[in-house]
Amino acid sequence: MAALNDSTASVSELKSRVLAFARARDWEQFHSPKNLSMALAAEAAELMEHFLWTTPEQSSVTARDPARRARIAEELADIVIYALEFANATDLDVAAAVEAKIEANAKKYPVEKARGRADKYTEL
Amino acid sequence: MAALNDSTASVSELKSRVLAFARARDWEQFHSPKNLSMALAAEAAELMEHFLWTTPEQSSVTARDPARRARIAEELADIVIYALEFANATDLDVAAAVEAKIEANAKKYPVEKARGRADKYTEL
Amino acid sequence: MAALNDSTASVSELKSRVLAFARARDWEQFHSPKNLSMALAAEAAELMEHFLWTTPEQSSVTARDPARRARIAEELADIVIYALEFANATDLDVAAAVEAKIEANAKKYPVEKARGRADKYTEL
Amino acid sequence: MAALNDSTASVSELKSRVLAFARARDWEQFHSPKNLSMALAAEAAELMEHFLWTTPEQSSVTARDPARRARIAEELADIVIYALEFANATDLDVAAAVEAKIEANAKKYPVEKARGRADKYTEL
């Protein structure tokens, strides 16, 4: 099988892969938006567990530590897989949603006001 | 600007969009793996909040409710955006990680054993 | 050691126990509000993992399953421990905060309007 | 009403308060372990949102900032309220579970090995 990578894989190809996996196991019955949102949050927490007690700076080192990197990549993959399953279950277009959200964020966080600041837009 | 959609957008295109947004605001300094994993988990929780008190069946209706659908799409977009920022910050290839995880899952959950069952692989 | 139970243990006794545990290990240096909030969220996700694919009704059965009950009690304990450590680290009085929040909720959710409804107060 | 505080309030008193609140609104029907675990995780994420972009050190300052302190206390209260509702719904004794978990942790993290180290017990 040709290996996927970010430069060539479309979002639809990834969505098809996770859908085929779930269908082959008759798992769509479990994939309600409620359940998938829980699974997504649970996987996000597992990614976070790698960085609980480090400083933000140290976390960049942790993420490149060969002993952990493979596991961190797996946690990220789990998150993306559930996000794609959620999109499959609800017929949402991920790329369109991302583009729309970036445009909305650009209005909430204009460059000149937001540059170098981590404040919420309501506090800029 | 040509609108993105899942059929044509590659993962790299989405990664570039979120990177450009962060760079323009000089926000990469805040985007440590630790902080991004927290933001991801926080956004996943916001998606989940739409489905706290519904049954799984009702959640499918909720996700298609016109009054909520746009907000649900935004929460999903936020999750994907932070997942892509995490991948940018750690130089991970999302599509490759997803493909590798699906292959690993296929071994843990063989079709004949896992069909129609929601049990963890350790309990199959 | 006399065993603790909910009827006799004050919140302060529990706070003292978790503080003594952390102090003996010189762990207060790791217990910033940021780190403790992450640990709390991670433990909450672990509790949730027991119920990902069940219906709400089935989850009541799961919670009483002897094979799982001990682990579920442990996850709940982890959450409470981190909540108490957070209160210790920030000098918050848990009981006073709970009482104040219940009073605020009573105003947002008056009995006659909220009875039998799971809607958010903004939608009552 | 006499104000509660940590020195005098038993866990059972807090459990009774949250139970009375839910019963008066006929909300126990929504309080399955699944739903309560989701609500707990959602509230934990809201607490975490106060500290997303700060360093651990700054988060101690944030937690004492008068403008935020009341909201942080409310988020902590929400977490504790759902933890108590979970205990009510599943007949778990919180203090006993906390004591048992501290004893288990004391074996996993002996003082001499764990002092000053944030490593997981499997890595000590």
In this prediction, does ipTM exceed 0.85? yes
In this predicted structure, what is the pLDDT of residue C121?
85
Of A9, A45, A114, nearest to B11 by CB-CB distance is: A9
Q: Which residue has the higher pLDDT, C67 or B76?
A: B76
pLDDT > 70: percent of chain C: 98
In this prediction, residue C31 has a pLDDT band, given cuts at 50, 70 and 90, of: very high
Element (H, E) at B76: helix B66-90
Nearest CA to CA, how far is D56 from chain B (Å)? 11
pLDDT at residue B1 greater than cutoff 60: no
What confidence score (pLDDT) does residue A74 get? 98
Any idea which of A99-103, C102-106, D104-108, D117-121 has the lowest mean pLDDT?
D117-121
pLDDT at A12: 98
Give the residue numbers in B contacting D (CB under 8 Å), as ranges. Answer: 30, 35, 38-39, 41-42, 44-46, 48-49, 51-53
Over chain A (124 residues), the average pLDDT of each successive run of 10 is 89 98 96 98 98 96 94 98 98 98 97 93 84
- Residue C80: is its pLDDT beyond 90? yes
Q: Chain D closest CA to C82's CA: distance in Å?
A: 10
DSSP D2-37: PPP-TTT-BHHHHHHHHHHHHHHTT-GGG--HHHHH
Question: Residues D62, D67, D73, D79: is their CA dihedral positive or negative?
Answer: negative
CA–CA gap between residue D59 and residue C91 (Å, rounded): 14
* pLDDT tens readout for residues D31-63: 999 999 999 999 999 999 999 999 999 999 999
Q: Which of B101, B107, B119, B121 to mutate to test the interface with A (most CBs of A within 10 A)?
A: B101
- Report the alpha-carbon angle B86-B88-B89, nearest 5: 65
Residues in chain A closer than 8 A to D118 (CB atoms)? 52-54
Q: Which pLDDT does position C20 carry in this prediction? A: 98
pLDDT band at residue C5, thresholds of 50, 70 and 90?
very high
Tens digit of each residue's pLDDT (9 = 90 or more) over A85-99: 999 999 999 999 999
Mean pLDDT of B34-39: 98
Minimal Cβ distance to B5: which of A89, A96, A116: A96
Widest distance between CA atoms in chain D: 51
Q: Pick the closest to residue D31 from C44, B53, B44 (CA basis).
A: B53
Task: Specify the pLDDT at position B2.
Answer: 61
- Least CB-CB distance to D45: which of C11, C41, C57? C41
Q: What mean pLDDT do residues D88-105 have?
A: 98
Neighbours of A79 (CB within 10 A): 31
Residue D42: list chain B partners with CB under 8 A: 45-46, 48-49, 52
**Residue of D105, D98, D74, D117 whose CA lies nearest to D11:** D98
Q: pLDDT, tens digit, for every residue of B64-106?
A: 999 899 999 999 999 999 999 999 999 999 999 999 999 999 9
> Rounded to a whole number, what is the distance in angstroms from the first to the last CA of chain A?
49
